[in-house]
């Protein structure tokens, strides 16, 4: 399983609604194969927001966990870990349109984004 890091969200609001996050995780970028030296630079920060992710089937179990449990404790760690792994495995990333990607690289190389 790829390296997953749970990130403190004390000073990190939801980028969508500016509300309080339940948690955020740093996971490997879905389109990059990092080397051990570049692991951090190819990571994606994925937030779990009770407002914005309420309709996400992948997030619902983890959101329910936090609705019942204020925080993760020794007694809930195994359940939390399982729900977290399930949520991460079901994350949906935007699909990369290779033609648009290559076109934007060409535009950038020709000064189109200056």
Q: What is the pLDDT of residue 70?
A: 85
Site of tokens 């934007």: 104
Which pLDDT score, from 0 to 100, does residue 37 have? Answer: 60
Per-residue pLDDT of 12-65, as tens digits, reads 899 999 999 999 998 876 666 656 665 555 577 889 999 999 999 989 999 999
Write out the H or E segment, with its range, that includes residue 28.
strand 23-28
Q: What are phi and psi of 9, to 5 degrees?
A: -115, 15
pLDDT of 96 reads 64
At 6 the pLDDT is 86
What is the predicted pLDDT for the residue at 90?
A: 85
Residue for token digits 């194969």? Answer: 33
pTM attached to this predicted model? 0.69
Given a contact cutoff of 8 angstroms between Cβ atoms, the answer to whether 45 and 4 are in contact is no
State how far the Cα of 77 lies from the Cα of 108, in Å rounded to an integer.
Answer: 46
Q: What is the pLDDT of residues 58-96, one digit of tens each?
A: 899 999 999 999 889 999 999 999 999 999 888 876 566
């Amino acid at each position: 399983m790829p390296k997953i890091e749970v990130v403190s969200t004390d000073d990190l609001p939801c980028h969508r609604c500016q509300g309080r996050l339940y948690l955020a995780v740093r996971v490997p970028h879905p389109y990059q194969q990092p080397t051990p030296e570049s692991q951090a630079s190819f990571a994606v920060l994925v937030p779990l927001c009770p407002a914005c992710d309420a309709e996400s089937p992948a997030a619902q179990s983890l959101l329910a966990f936090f609705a019942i449990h204020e925080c993760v404790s020794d007694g809930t760690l195994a359940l939390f870990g399982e729900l977290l792994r399930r949520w991460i495995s079901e994350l949906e990333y935007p699909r990369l349109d290779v033609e648009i990607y290559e076109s934007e690289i060409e535009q950038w190389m020709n000064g189109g984004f200056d």
